[in-house]
Chain A
Amino acid sequence: MSRASGREYHQRLKGALDNTFLGQTLARFQGNYRGSRQAGFAGMDFEALAAEVGAAKDAALGHLEELYQQFKAKAEAAGATVHLAHDAAHAREIIAKIAAQTGSRRIIKSKSMTSEEIHLNRHLEAQGLKVTETDLGEWIIQLRGEGPSHMVAPAIHLSRSEVAELFTQVTGEKQDPEDIASLVEVARQRLRRAMLEADMGISGANFALASTGSIATVTNEGNARLVTTLPRVHVALVGLEKLVPDLNTALKILRLLPRSATGQLISTYVTWVTGAVECAANRGKKELHIVFLDNGRLALSQDPVFSQALRCLRCGSCANVCPIFGKVGGHNYGHVYIGAIGLILTYFYHGPEAAQELLGNCLNCQACKVNCPANIDLPGLIKKTAGLLLAEQGRPIKNQLLRRVLTNRPLFHFLLRRAYLAQKPLARGGRLIRHLPLFFAPDQEFRSLPVVAAEPLRDRWRRLAPKVPKPRLRVALFGGCLIDFVYPEQAEAFLGLIKGKGIQVDYARDQSCCGLPAAMASEEETAREVARQNLAAMEAEWYDYVLTLCASCASHLKKYPELLAGDPVWAGRAEHMAAKVIDLASFLQKEAGLEPAAAQGKAAAYHAPCHLCRGLGVHDASKELLREAGYDYRPYDDEEVCCGFGGSYSLDFPELSAAILERKLRQVAATGADTLVTDCPGCVLQLEGGLDHLGSPIRVRHLAQALAEAKDK
């Protein structure tokens, strides 16, 4: 990211964070969505269905050209004309030409993200054509001269007052912002007129069925039905990736699309058009043109890594569950396409320049990934897309340093030890640094930072190592940087929990950072090198488990096989170790159990680390243990929402990290808990720092500590 554009982007983000209405609307939107989506998928195996849709889309994406030919033959036999546009300019030309040839002056449109992608309206208007959007949200933003801020709800960033004001201008009559039904009525009346007068209707399509040459639109308002029925000419603009072989595939997608978009079991209207249908306004038969847009899709569909992005169904769920979108909205979290998929598609459809500010703005919290109905690894693709940018534009100094330092463990650990000395004066003898000199890390004032421990875990180990003559279990402890150098007491608490249970624990001295920071910075080669070093150091072959107290490390260690796939030496060892990686809560439940409860009803709230609940799929174990240990466990809505840490994310986007943290802490405070428990030292750092900054009495404990304290009483 260039400095100037980076600064400008941060200013925009700050502006959005200061917009209270936007914050409230988005919070309500995301809150409602969570409930509706859950109800929509009740009793269904979402994971399996999403995997099925992902596989069905992949199968189609492997044969786009064939499907296109098959579709074209069927649709043209039914009286349509099918076009293939190579890029945005070509598509605009084709559509403008159809307008000219058919003498169309007035055009109505139903919602089409693909038409937004090619900036179609601007082009048609420049030809002197009158273009009217008929989806209510699209019409509102068209009148305001804006782009959509969400793929499904394009005007979600606006308040009823802003809409009322706009409609007052449009109608010349005062509109009441509290009467939303009458605002909708204004659109109904105005747009009905435009629809009856139009010569041409432009729609998008959610599916194009190769087997029959049919296109389908999925809408709630019913405007797409009118757009495809009233005018004498119908142009459908369709991304090539919307081609599916048959109805069965379309029905599989349809089962997930509305549920993922809004929680509806199905949208109000699903409309299938096959060929040139009856149209009295055009001598009895509609003139139908179907324009397929390539714009990089064919090439993308052949890419072994990035073709996944074309599975996208445009449901918008990746935005609906994204904590960053929830704070700044789509205008600051995408270009034309918004949300996680937007970050990726912007690079491919609108170029590196449009994408570069956005691609770093991902917490890697995995919320989008586990909610994606097409099973797209969105955070993984975002990092890989950012990697393409690095390859093109050269590596910034911070990436070069990261590479040099992380691949050299002795140097890395030397620097961490030095950090202790550097921080000491700032901590004033305490465990937290409240005020950093601004030049050191700007905008970090929202949280205190922990000091590096005087004696890291690795130095304490000789003293701490449990002596178990005849162990029934052998555990290799993977510390990770934060446990080793900042929070060794969390590991000590763990050792206390398993004392006398016949469990041998070893700490391999040559282990280093798990490599997640490198993966987060799109430094894949560095991540691989560190992975190989850790595999050699851990010697997992000799152990029953590789246990880590850090959820992020655990989920990253589980990714080693993917990272080293195809590596003749290391792939096998990576698989082997990944199978043994376990988190603390699961380990305790499975192998160690707890001492009798003694926490005596102390009220505790829980923060689920992203990499535990979504990364490892462990949702309940920690909470069950807390209850078992006698804690009065207090739930809250956002328990599984990211704390805003995201490793270096909180350094790169402190304004957002702070805003996301604030929301979480507010909910935690409302539970009345006096202890906040989590099982990731990164989350501890963020939560503890935020609470300390607020002067809150709530204490943060790693699960190991919370359980150890219950035992001590």
Chain B
Amino acid sequence: MNQNELRQEFGRKAEAVSAVVTPVADLAQAFAQAARLTALQGGKCLAAPGWEGADLAALKAACEQEGLELITQGLRERTGEFHTGLTRARWGVAETGTIVVESSSEELRLATMLSEVHVAVLPAANLRADLFSLEQELDRTLADAPGYLAFISGPSRTGDIELVLTLGAHGPRQLHIMLLEEGS
């Protein structure tokens, strides 16, 4: 699969599992989108652990623009307050519409688990055809212990009542993937 086919397949499969894929030109645009959709959904606070330096400053600006509070740590104490969790995704897998999120940071995990909406920024250059094409990278990540690694495919769901598919069982009700073209 060439880059374009990967992108198309990833988009199809991610959408098939109810994720929303939005191509963005750069990080600033990704931040603006994340802040925008948070505000539109009535969110007041965005949790974004793991961003630093110029990226963090840009994110702060985007949040201010929408009148949102930005938090980057102490998420446990702020449970129920942050609407959106904004993280990076390390890789994307076209076959299944999966994002791979390195989640060893507890704050990052909380941001992706306790939020109503998870927004993940995924560099388009890091798309791969399937999990087997990522095997070496995944193996190295797992060997770097202790660690917590997550494959995420769409928002949380359940079919436990009469097999009726319902989103948002325990985790985020929505998953937005900002597909970042920059540097690809």
Contact = CB atoms under 8 A, between A and B. Distances in A.
Interface of A: 25, 28-29, 32, 74, 77-79, 134-137, 140, 153-156, 158-160, 163, 180-181, 183-184, 187-188, 191-192, 196, 209, 211-214, 220-223, 225-226, 228-229, 246-248, 251, 254-255, 262, 264-281
28 contacts: A137-B160, A153-B159, A154-B160, A160-B164, A163-B161, A180-B161, A184-B169, A212-B142, A214-B145, A220-B157, A221-B157, A221-B158, A221-B160, A229-B109, A247-B139, A265-B97, A265-B153, A266-B98, A266-B153, A267-B153, A268-B17, A269-B150, A269-B156, A271-B103, A271-B150, A274-B142, A280-B76, A280-B106
A321 to B, nearest CB: 16
Nearest to A28: B163
Interface in B154-184: 154-164, 166, 168-172
B51 interface: no
Given A156-B163, A213-B145, A272-B147, 5 more contacts: A153-B159, A220-B156, A225-B171, A229-B106, A276-B146
Interface stretch (B57-65, B83-91, B119-127, B130-138): B130-138
Contacts of A251: 131-132, 135
B142 A214 contact: yes
A25 B162 CA distance: 7
Nearest to A278: B106
B107 to A, nearest CB: 8
Contacts of A28: 163
B171 A221 contact: yes
Contacts of B96: 265-266
A53 to B, nearest CB: 14
B26 interface: no
B168 to A, nearest CB: 7
A213 B143 CA distance: 8
Contacts of A226: 113-114, 170-171
A188 B169 contact: yes
B152 interface: yes
B76 A281 contact: yes
B159 A262 contact: yes
Query: What 5 pairs between A and B have smallest CB-CB spacing?
Result: A222-B171, A275-B146, A78-B145, A137-B160, A221-B169
Contacts of B149: 271-272, 274
Contact of B150 (A214, A246, A266, A270): A270
A140 B162 CA distance: 12
A211 B105 CA distance: 23
B160 A140 contact: yes
B146 A274 contact: yes
Given A188-B168, A222-B170, A269-B150, A212 B163 contact: no
B166 A181 contact: yes
Nearest to A221: B169
Contacts of A191: 170
A114 B162 CA distance: 24
A154 B96 CA distance: 25
A235 B169 CA distance: 23
B104 interface: yes
A155 B113 contact: no
Contacts of B155: 268
Nearest to B13: A265
B22 interface: no
B131 A277 contact: no
Contacts of A212: 139, 142-143, 145
B169 A222 contact: yes
Contacts of B150: 225, 269-272
A154 B163 CA distance: 11
B131 to A, nearest CB: 5
A631 to B, nearest CB: 37
A180 B155 CA distance: 17
Nearest to B131: A251
Given A156-B163, A226-B170, A229-B109, A221 B147 contact: no
Contacts of B145: 74, 77-79, 212-214, 274-275
A223 B161 contact: no
Q: Size class of B's contact patch?
A: 35 or more
Contacts of A247: 135, 138-139, 142
Contacts of A159: 162
Nearest to B95: A265
A25 B153 CA distance: 27
Nearest to A159: B162
Given A268-B155, A274-B147, A223 B142 contact: no
B109 to A, nearest CB: 5
A335 to B, nearest CB: 21
A233 to B, nearest CB: 14
B8 interface: no
Nearest to A288: B146
Contacts of A264: 17
A542 B2 CA distance: 58
Given A229-B109, A268-B153, A278-B106, A209 B160 contact: no
A29 B163 contact: yes
Contacts of A78: 145-146
A464 B184 CA distance: 79
B170 A134 contact: yes
Contact of B135 (A156, A248, A275): A248
A212 to B, nearest CB: 4
Contacts of B97: 265
Interface in B97-117: 97-98, 103-106, 109-110, 113-114
A155 B161 contact: yes
A264 to B, nearest CB: 8
A228 B146 CA distance: 14
B113 A136 contact: no
A123 B165 CA distance: 33
B148 A272 contact: yes
Contacts of A274: 142, 145-149
A77 B97 CA distance: 34
Contacts of B109: 225, 229
A165 B152 CA distance: 33
A241 to B, nearest CB: 21
Given A251-B135, A266-B96, A136 B160 contact: yes
A204 to B, nearest CB: 16
B170 A221 contact: yes
A265 B158 CA distance: 15
B175 to A, nearest CB: 9
Contact of B148 (A32, A154, A255, A271): A271
Contacts of A279: 106
Given A188-B170, A275-B146, A155 B76 contact: no
B79 interface: yes
Given A160-B162, A184-B169, A278-B105, A270 B151 contact: yes
B158 to A, nearest CB: 5
Contacts of B168: 184, 188
B142 A229 contact: no
A272 to B, nearest CB: 4
Contact of A268 (B142, B157, B166): B157
Most buried by B among A160, A180, A254, A268: A268
Contacts of A268: 17, 152-157, 171
B170 A229 contact: no
A154 B145 CA distance: 34
A225 B85 CA distance: 15
B76 A222 contact: no
A136 B148 contact: no
A155 B169 contact: no
B97 to A, nearest CB: 8
B113 A225 contact: yes
B160 A155 contact: yes
A137 B151 CA distance: 23
Contacts of A156: 160, 163
Contacts of A248: 132, 135
Given A77-B145, A266-B96, A223 B170 contact: yes
A220 B163 CA distance: 13
